Structures are given as C-alpha cells and as structure tokens.
C-alpha cells in the first residue's frame, strides 16, 4: 500500500527548500520578492500585488515513484520571462529530492506554450492524443523520467 499522505507530505516539505535555492532566479525574472504559499497540494507565488504564478504537485495515486504536475500557471504580465521554465525546474527538483523517478502531466494538444516548455525541458509525449469526453479537449500525456539524475 502506497503511503500517499506521507509522500505528499515529503513533497510539501521539499518544495520550500527547493524554492529557497531558486529564489534569486525567481526574484530576477519576476522583478520582486515573491512569497511561496501552499494550500493543499497547490503552491502560489505571491507578489505584493497578488498571485503571480501557481502549480500543483502531488504523488501519482498508484505509484509512489511517480508524481503528477498540474495547474501550472503564470500571470499574463509575467509570461515569456522564464518564470514557467523556472517553475518546471522547481517541480523537477522537488521530485528528485523526494526520490521520484517519473513526472507526468496532461496538456491540451493546442497549448503550444506548455508543450514547448515541456519539450525544452526534456519531456516527451507518451502514447497518442486522447479526448476528454467531459470537455471535448484533445490532450497529450507528457512524461519525463528522472532516474539516474543527481539531486540538486
Ligand atoms: C504555459 C505557461 C505556464 C508558460 O509560462 P511562461 O512563464 O510564459 O514560460 P517561459 O517564459 O518559461 O517560456 C518557456 C518557453 O516557452 C515559449 N513560449 C511561451 N509562450 C509560448 C507560446 N504562446 N507559443 C510558443 N512558445 C511559447 C517561450 O518562448 C520559451 O521558449 P524559449 O526559451 O525557447 O524562448 C504560461 O503560458 C501560462 O500560464 N499559460 C496559461 C496556463 C496554462 O496553459 N498552463 C498549462 C496547463 S497544462
């Protein structure tokens, strides 16, 4: 039986540590001193004028060596400054620190920005596209293995 709560707690303690290491890069790209705030498995980067970015990171329910990224979002005025790439780097470092060897996420096929971001960071499509019957969106399952990579 996978200790989901324990694994998610490990992610929750590794995230602020990894954020501290990347803080100078976030400050430079965001032009301020963002604070990291957590609500359940969602993490918010807040500037004095409001939420600037967010992401969700949690353990895959059926495999303790895999984690799932979702809800990566950067405020419009901060896009294309490298913040999304840094958030992906942060999530990857957290996963490594938690000894996870697979990252997973689903992306809309038409989301060029997110697909570019992931492919640039070494992610690849797993299998064919599929349709979410509730939304009609065409999605891709994207993944990246971390096995053998050093912990930052
Ligand atoms: C996807 C998202 C998080 C990217 O954030 P970002 O801070 O703009 O990303 P970065 O600045 O790190 O850009 C990373 C790369 O993607 C490229 N990129 C950004 N927007 C792009 C677009 N609309 N089309 C193509 N490439 C794009 C950048 O040029 C950069 O590539 P480069 O280094 O080769 O120039 C942001 O666009 C966003 O919040 N979108 C809405 C929410 C969303 O779709 N989330 C994904 C859910 S799965």
8 A C-beta contact, residue 79 and residue 112: no
Q: Of 3.40.50.2300, 3.40.50.800, 3.40.630.30, 3.65.10.10, which CATH number belongs to 4-145?
A: 3.40.630.30
* The pTM of the whole model exceeds 0.85: yes
- pLDDT tens, position by position, for the chain (152 residues)? 778 899 999 999 999 999 999 999 999 999 889 999 999 999 999 998 888 999 999 999 989 999 999 999 999 999 999 999 999 999 999 999 999 999 999 999 999 999 999 999 999 999 999 999 999 999 999 999 998 877 76
Q: Dihedral through CA 147, CA 25, CA 140, CA 37, nearest 10? A: 100
Among 34, 83, 84, residue to substitute to test ligand 1 (most atoms within 8 Å of Cβ): 84
8 A C-beta contact, residue 55 and residue 71: yes
CA 119 – ligand 1 centroid, Å: 11
CA 126 – ligand 1 centroid, Å: 20
Helical segments of the chain, H only: 4-30, 83-97, 112-120
Instruction: Verify whether ligand 1 is closer than 6 Å to residue 74 (CB atom).
Output: yes
pLDDT at position 147: 87
CA 118 – ligand 1 centroid, Å: 9
The structure tokens listed for 69 are 């990224």
């Amino acid at each position: 039986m996978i200790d989901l709560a324990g694994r998610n707690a490990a992610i929750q303690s590794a995230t602020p540590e990894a954020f501290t290491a990347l803080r100078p890069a976030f400050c430079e790209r965001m032009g301020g001193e963002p604070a990291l705030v957590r609500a359940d498995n969602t993490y918010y980067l807040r500037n004095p004028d409001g939420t600037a970015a967010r992401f969700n990171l949690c353990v895959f329910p059926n495999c303790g060596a895999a984690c799932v990224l979702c809800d990566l979002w950067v405020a419009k005025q901060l896009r294309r400054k490298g913040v999304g790439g840094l958030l992906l780097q942060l999530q990857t470092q957290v996963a490594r620190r938690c000894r996870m060897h697979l990252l997973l996420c689903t992306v809309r096929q038409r989301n060029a920005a997110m697909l570019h971001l992931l492919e640039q960071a070494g992610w690849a499509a797993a299998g064919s596209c599929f349709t979410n019957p509730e939304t009609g969106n065409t999605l891709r399952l994207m993944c990246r293995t971390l096995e053998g990579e050093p912990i930052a």
